[in-house]
């Protein structure tokens, strides 16, 4: 059982040697000289219409000429570094380009020209990277925004944007950001946490992963419930890996995070209103639209409001195998939250019919928790069994049972099957999976 990365913690560390050298070079007079000549002798607006490689050739030539003419003490390797740096300045995100390319970096935080933090493996570290000055940071921030058709300047000093690779960027310019322009990049995490990996690291038991795979194959509608950062989206993503390749999947998210592996996926993302208060596209709009796109399954990243009504409808009208997450503390709480969201969307619906809708739409609720030892655990797999009177009936198929004799700072316990016969075993039989299901449930 391997532990998850530790909590975020700010620890400035010493620079690695190669970056020091790199920094010394880009702070050197030689660099400044070459850069100045390049920028003076190139037609910038024309250069920006060319490809990076085309421009590289031009810069290489100019740099070589400057080195020759001024007899600068610059090696060929340094010359290449300088050319790259100038290219990054022109095309990319300047000094933070290497952090964007580094797969182990998950977050990049620029606080003015002299402070660049990077998060790796859950630890925040001060890097030796620096911008030339505040204007340089602003320049990079504006280029990032411009690349996605957004503007950031005095009149709109804050902007959210998504980079081409899916990373999210937030920019705040001075004077709103008092200590210099701030750029926060949350890199598009490559989520390779699979169900198997989750079983390995103790997020759930192997039997639970077997049951979840069967649930997916039987096209159960699944709601993942948990707190912020508990791992809902990660679990949703892991579950989605087991959807058949031939299905057409429509995903709906506020910020595209899911990484489906299947070939036939349409990913939709909401949009906030623009400066004139127009053009917003809500999750509800997207769920409704998705129904007209002939999806086999709909995956809604997180149910937060009125779209709950439409998603339940989708689940009830042949889009079996749909999945979503919800912010709730228990499966029971998840049902209550769904009720109130539907009620807000459609005030005329009597509670009883809302409950009936939930009871027939939702098959499974997975409760996930980040516990005090830092481990994420699927604490319950709860099946919605139907209605009794005006109450939605549930039964727990798996639970995490705490070992109360453990020391205070430890979390010990075991994942246990309730050995109940799942209501969906009839459905599993239809898919030829009943035997496997009952086997997974065996304690
Ligand atoms: N099972 C897991 N093992 C290790 N890291 C995880 C796991 N689940 C989530 N994480 C990490 O925790 C963070 C929050 O996870 P996420 O799934 O986005 O949570 P939520 O959707 O509940 O807010 C992410 O950085 C993710 O990589
Ligand atoms: Mg999430």
Same domain, 253 and 360: yes
Is the beta carbon of 243 within 6 A of some atom in ligand 1? no
120 preceded by a cis bond (ω within 30 of 0): no
Distance 370 CA to ligand 2 centre (A): 13
CB 257 within 8 A of CB 234: no
Same domain, 318 and 406: yes
Question: What tens digit of pLDDT does each residue of 338-354 get?
Answer: 999 999 998 899 999 99
Same domain, 106 and 27: no
Count of domains observed in the chain: 3
Q: Which of 231, 323, 375 to mutate to test the pocket of ligand 1 (most atoms within 8 A of CB)?
A: 231
Q: Which of 122, 234, 238 to mutate to test the pocket of ligand 1 (most atoms within 8 A of CB)?
A: 234
- What CATH number is associated with residue 328? 3.40.50.300
Q: Is residue 64 part of a domain?
A: yes
Boundary residue ending a domain (73, 89, 105): 89
Full-model pTM: 0.72
Q: What is the residue range of 374's domain?
A: 195-441
Q: Of ligand 1's atoms, which has the minimum distance to the CA of residue 122?
A: 25
Same domain, 99 and 76: no
Q: Is residue 312 part of a domain?
A: yes
Proximal ligand: closest to the CA of 237: 1
Q: Is residue 374 part of a domain?
A: yes
Question: What tens digit of pLDDT does each residue of 380-398 get?
Answer: 999 999 999 999 999 999 9
Question: Quick one: which of 80, 1, 3 has its CA closest to 375?
Answer: 3
Distance 29 CA to ligand 2 centre (A): 47
Is the beta carbon of 337 within 6 A of some atom in ligand 1? no
Same domain, 201 and 167: no
Distance 97 CA to ligand 2 centre (A): 27
Q: Is residue 23 part of a domain?
A: yes
Q: How many CB atoms lie within 10 A of CB 195?
A: 21
pLDDT tens, the chain, 443 aa long: 444 444 433 343 444 445 567 778 877 888 889 988 988 887 766 776 677 788 899 999 999 999 999 999 999 999 998 998 888 777 778 889 889 888 889 899 999 999 999 998 878 899 999 988 888 899 888 888 877 777 888 888 998 887 777 788 899 999 999 989 999 998 876 667 999 999 999 999 999 999 999 999 999 999 999 999 899 999 999 999 999 899 999 999 988 888 888 899 999 999 877 767 788 899 999 999 999 999 999 999 999 999 999 999 999 988 889 999 999 999 999 999 999 999 999 889 999 999 999 999 999 999 999 988 888 999 999 999 999 999 999 999 999 998 877 777 778 899 999 999 999 999 999 999 999 999 999 98
Is the beta carbon of 377 within 6 A of some atom in ligand 1? no
Is the beta carbon of 374 within 6 A of some atom in ligand 1? no
CB 371 within 8 A of CB 381: no
Boundary residue ending a domain (89, 108, 142): 89
Q: Is residue 3 part of a domain?
A: no
Q: Of ligand 1's atoms, which has the minimum distance to the CA of residue 228?
A: 23
Proximal ligand: closest to the CA of 227: 1
Give the Cα separation of 25 and 32 in Å (integer). 10
- What CATH number is associated with residue 123? 3.30.450.90
Same domain, 63 and 163: no
Phi, then psi, of 168 in degrees rounded to 5? -100, 140
Distance 263 CA to ligand 2 centre (A): 23
The secondary structure of 164-199 as a DSSP string is TTS-EEEEE-TTTSTTS-EEEEE--------HHHHH
């Amino acid at each position: 059982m391997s532990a998850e990365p530790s909590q975020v913690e700010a620890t400035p560390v010493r620079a690695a040697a190669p970056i020091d050298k790199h920094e010394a070079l880009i702070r050197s007079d030689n660099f400044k000289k070459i850069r100045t000549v390049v920028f003076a002798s190139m037609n910038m607006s024309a250069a920006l219409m060319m490809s990076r490689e085309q421009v590289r050739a031009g810069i290489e030539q100019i740099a070589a000429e400057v080195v020759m003419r001024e007899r600068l003490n610059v090696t060929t390797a340094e010359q290449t570094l300088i050319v790259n740096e100038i290219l990054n300045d022109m095309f990319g995100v300047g000094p933070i380009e290497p952090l964007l390319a580094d797969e182990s970096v998950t977050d990049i935080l620029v606080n003015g020209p002299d402070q660049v933090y990077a998060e790796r493996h859950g630890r925040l570290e001060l890097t030796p990277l620096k911008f030339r000055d505040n204007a340089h940071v602003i320049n990079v921030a504006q280029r990032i925004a411009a690349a996605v058709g957004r503007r950031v300047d005095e009149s709109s000093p804050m902007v959210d944007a998504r980079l081409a690779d899916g990373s999210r960027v937030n920019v705040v310019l001075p004077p709103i950001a008092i200590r210099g322009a701030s750029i926060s990049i949350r890199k598009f995490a490559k989520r390779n946490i699979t169900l198997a990996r989750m079983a390995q690291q103790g997020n759930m038991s192997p039997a639970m992963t077997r049951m979840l795979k069967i649930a997916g194959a039987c096209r159960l509608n699944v709601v993942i419930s948990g707190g912020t950062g508990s791992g809902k989206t990660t679990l949703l993503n892991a579950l989605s890996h087991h959807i058949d390749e031939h299905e057409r999947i429509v995903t709906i998210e506020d910020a595209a995070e899911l990484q489906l592996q299947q070939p036939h996926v349409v990913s939709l993302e909401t949009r906030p209103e623009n400066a004139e208060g127009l053009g917003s596209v809500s999750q509800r709009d997207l769920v409704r639209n998705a129904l007209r796109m002939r999806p086999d399954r709909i995956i809604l990243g997180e149910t937060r409001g009125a779209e709950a009504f439409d998603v339940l409808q989708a689940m009830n009208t042949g889009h079996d195998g749909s999945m979503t997450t919800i912010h709730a503390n228990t499966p029971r709480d998840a049902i209550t939250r769904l009720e109130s969201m539907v009620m807000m969307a459609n005030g005329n619906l009597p509670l009883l019919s809302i409950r009936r809708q939930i009871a027939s739409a939702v098959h499974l609720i997975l409760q996930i928790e980040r516990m005090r030892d830092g481990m994420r655990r699927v604490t319950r797999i709860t099946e919605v069994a139907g209605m009794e009177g005006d109450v939605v009936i549930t039964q727990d198929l798996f639970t995490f049972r705490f070992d109360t004799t453990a020391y205070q700072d430890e979390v010990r316990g075991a994942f246990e099957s309730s050995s109940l016969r799942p209501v969906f075993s009839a459905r599993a039989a239809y898919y030829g999976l009943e035997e496997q299901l009952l086997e997974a449930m065996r304690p």
